Structure 1
Amino acid sequence: MPSAPSNLPDLVTPAAAPGVAQLSRTLAVVSLLGLVILSVAWELWIAPLRPGGSWLVIKALPLCLPLAGLLKHRMYTYRWVSLLVWLYFTEGVVRAFGDAPPSRWCAMAEIALCLLLFAACVLHVKGRQKAVRPAEPSAGPSPH
């Protein structure tokens, strides 16, 4: 019988940790959608740099790309989103200390959502790795 492809754990939720995978997926998707909504609202209505909106609203576009991968449990997506989110975290920190309210409040919300997204991605990846590890076959026959 042929062995399962090595990327199979990337496509399905591990049976050993469905609660952790589902919780972390939900947190990741909710915080990612929160970042998208916040970015659009921030730059168009709440505190645009110019009256009528700002071109900075395009910063929401890269956040839309990983949504499908998160919903499909793509391990690769969780990994690269955990790196991408630090760009938005950095923007939040800079604008939290440099902007006046209400932009400062949006920046603080961005920081909180970034930290939640990062934690959810790390929890998801760690939980999935832990669940897959015991199921891996041994390297070869036993010496006995």
Structure 2
Amino acid sequence: MTTQLARALALIGYFGLMLWVVLWHGVISPSPHLSLTFMLIIWLPWLLIPIKGMLQGNPYTHAWSVYLLLPYFLHSGVLLWADEGERWLAIVELLLAGTMFIGNMYYAKLRGRELGLSIRRKKAEKSES
């Protein structure tokens, strides 16, 4: 995998997940019990946290932003198991979160190597001193 492909996957998953959250909760299947505003306040801010670093291509941002995907993985997993009516919506969410996860991990690894940002290198420098 190339750095450019990993970045493309990360951004496709990232912006796709943002768009999917809005479409799902606002258009496709709005909650009958909760307002759209409340649903967007719950699901969207997590994805807005890393936007600056994602757009700048910062490998550190790509690396730590995968932790923000946990609620989306859990949400889609629970719906896959429990709700047949929204199963296809959960599959799309899972695919987008998975795409972002894989893209971010490979981009952080490959771009970090290109920039010489290696954990092994830092460990070796500490052991030499």
Q: TM-score, normalised by structure 2?
A: 0.78
1:92-129 Cα distance to aligned partner (Å, 9 max, x none): 1111222232x221111111111111100111111123
State which of 72, 75, 99 in structure 2 corresponds to 1:116.
99
Unaligned segments of structure 2, at least 5 residues: none
8 Å Cα contact 1:25-1:71 kept in structure 2? no
- CA-CA distance at 1:53 after TM superposition: 4.8
Partner-residue secondary structure (3-state), 2:44: helix
- Structure 2: distance between partners of 1:33 and 1:133: 28
- CA-CA distance at 1:52 after TM superposition: 8.6
1:81 pairs with 2:81: no
1:46-103 Cα distance to aligned partner (Å, 9 max, x none): 11221795422221222123222112111221111111112211111111222232x2
Note the 1:1-144 alignment, pairs <5 A: 20-50=2-32, 53-54=35-36, 55-58=38-41, 59-101=43-85, 103-133=86-116
- Structure 2: distance between partners of 1:52 and 1:46: 14
- Paired residues, number: 119
Runs of 4+ in 1 over 3 A off after TM superposition: 51-54
- Structure 1: distance between partners of 2:114 and 2:60: 16
Normalized per residue, the structure richer in helix is 2
Percent of pairs identical after alignment? 27
How big is the alpha-carbon RMSD for the aligned residues of Structure 1 and Structure 2? 2.6
- CA-CA distance at 1:130 after TM superposition: 2.9
Larger Rg: 1
Higher relative contact order (CA 8 A, sep 6+): 2
- Structure 1: distance between partners of 2:60 and 2:83: 35
